[in-house]
Amino acid sequence: MKKIEIHGGKALKGEVTVSGAKNSAVALIPAAIMADSPVVLEGVPDIQDVHSLIEILEIMGAKVSFENNRMEIDPSNVVSIPMPSGKINSLRASYYFMGALLGKFGEAVVGLPGGCFLGPRPIDLHIKGFESLEAEVSNEHGVIYLRTKEEGLKGDRIFMDVVSIGATINVMLAAVKAEGRTIIENAAREPEIIDVATLLNNMGAKIRGAGTDEIRIEGVQELHGCVHSIIPDRIEAGTYLALAAAIGDGMIINNVIYEHIESFIAKLEEMGVKMNISEDSIEVLPSRPLKAVDITTSPYPGFATDLQQPITPLLLCAEGSAEIIDTIYSKRVNHIPELVRMGAEATVEGNMIVVNGPAKLHGVEVVASDLRAGACLVIAGLMAEGKTTIFNVEYILRGYDNIIEKLTSLGATIEMIEEEAE
């Protein structure tokens, strides 16, 4: 069992470099198996989700090497085999193997995905999309079976009832090998969608309109290997920006694409955070007093749901009352009771979080309930006086590359401790 111990209450200073995007990597890696020759991905974050995907690839027959954030995937010997359990169940993004295998082999058997529990995240839209491409889909005891008729997948016009990153990417993966034209309407517009489309186009796909709400795909028969660089992780960037504003004494966040987190930066500016924004880095200057602001999450380019939890400790530094409404995952509130244990004045009222600041936090034992709640508690622990111990750190390691090393380089007193289970 791992836990993180933090001795907080001191200002952090220095530079930190943002890694490649987790939410891109977990889709790009399954996409790579659709090629008939090796694919090289550069800037892959060294996180648990990536290592889980490597295990799945190797079980399927792929050869994978991963070193210094560079991954080479040789999919020439990949076979479509049932994947109903194990790593699939612990990793939500494993559902991208549905679209990738369906496109490559015309069939797939994939267990229903796991990941962080944030409330209902059904895969109905994925299934609707696959069925529109003339795949037959059945759910047998929690395992999804996807099959195509002899003629294979056929392009179609697909309207997404709800804006969904996962369903948009999954349908895109299957559609690149479907006969004819596919149009995805009301598509998600996140930068990660563009990243996946860029990889597929580099592999020989014909995708237009990624990043808009209408994606047009002309099916191709073959995809080949290529070299692709992953975009920076906008959620990691936002996490370190929130940390810098909360407890920084002058911090520079490198490898940031400003346009990807414009709505987040707008909230920081509204709070009174002073920043110098350059082409690919942001310097956060010591900023007090801060003003409380209200936040409502929404699909891109709105305020990202994944940044709702990391910004909460910063709101505890501000003067006044702030309201947070998460329109994407209303159940994303489990970090609040943990912050209250640390001395925060915060409540959950229906689908709204209310935070009152400024608060003086003190170190206690807390439990991370999901990936971004873990990031929230790390920031809170660095702000708090005394020792904070965070349990369930496996969630944090799923999505933050070298977080202990990066924070230590900024002057944080933080360490990962491995204990024998009793």
Instruction: Please state the domain extents for the chain.
Output: 2-19+232-418, 22-229
Q: Which fold has domain 2-19+232-418?
A: UDP-n-acetylglucosamine1-carboxyvinyl-transferase; Chain (3.65.10)
Return all residues near 146 (Cβ < 8 A) that are at least 6 apart. 98, 101, 102, 107, 108, 109, 110, 130, 135, 136, 137
pTM: 0.95
Residue 93: the pLDDT is: 61
Residue 23 in marked binding region? yes
In DSSP terms, 216 is beta-bridged to 183, 208
Peptide bond into 286 cis (omega under 30): no
**22-229 and 2-19+232-418 share a CATH fold:** yes
Q: Which CATH class is domain 22-229?
A: alpha beta
Which DSSP state fits 270? H
Residue 177 in marked binding region? no
d(CA 137, CA 99): 12
Residue 125 in marked binding region? yes
Which DSSP state fits 364? -
Residue type, 102: L
Out of 116, 226, 317, 376, which one is annotated catalytic?
116
Is 159 strand, coil or helix?
A: strand
Query: What's the Cα-to-Cα distance from 127 to each of 32, 81, 98, 133, 144, rounded to whole Å?
Result: 21, 19, 10, 10, 9
Residue 38 in marked binding region? no
The two most distant CA atoms of the chain are separated, in Å, by 66
Alpha helices in 15-133 (DSSP H): 22-32, 48-59, 87-90, 96-105, 124-132
Residue 49 in marked binding region? no
> The tokens of 46 are what?
């060294």
* Burial category of 126 from C-beta neighbours within 10 Å (exposed 0-12, middle 13-18, buried 19 and up): buried
d(CA 112, CA 90): 10
Residue 92 in marked binding region? yes
For each of the chain's 422 residues, which pLDDT tens digit applies? 899 999 999 999 999 999 999 999 999 999 999 999 999 999 999 999 999 999 999 999 999 999 999 999 999 999 987 765 555 555 656 789 999 999 999 999 887 765 545 454 568 899 999 999 999 999 887 788 999 988 899 999 999 999 999 999 999 999 999 999 999 999 999 999 999 999 999 999 999 999 999 999 999 999 999 999 999 999 999 999 999 999 999 999 999 999 999 999 999 999 999 999 999 999 999 999 999 999 999 999 999 999 999 999 999 999 999 999 999 988 899 999 999 999 999 999 988 999 999 999 999 999 999 999 999 999 999 999 999 999 999 999 999 999 999 999 999 999 999 987 65
Residue 121 in marked binding region? yes
Q: Residue 184's closest CA among 133, 137, 147?
A: 133
In DSSP terms, 179 is beta-bridged to 154
In DSSP terms, 386 is beta-bridged to 8
Q: Is 317 a known active-site residue?
A: no
Which DSSP state fits 333? T
At CA 23, angle to CA 39 and CA 71, rounded to 5? 25
Residue 419: the pLDDT is: 82
Strand 320-326 to 295-297 pairing: parallel
Residue 29 in marked binding region? no
Query: What's the Cα-to-Cα distance from 98 to each of 30, 138, 393, rounded to whole Å?
Result: 9, 12, 29
Residue 324: the pLDDT is: 98
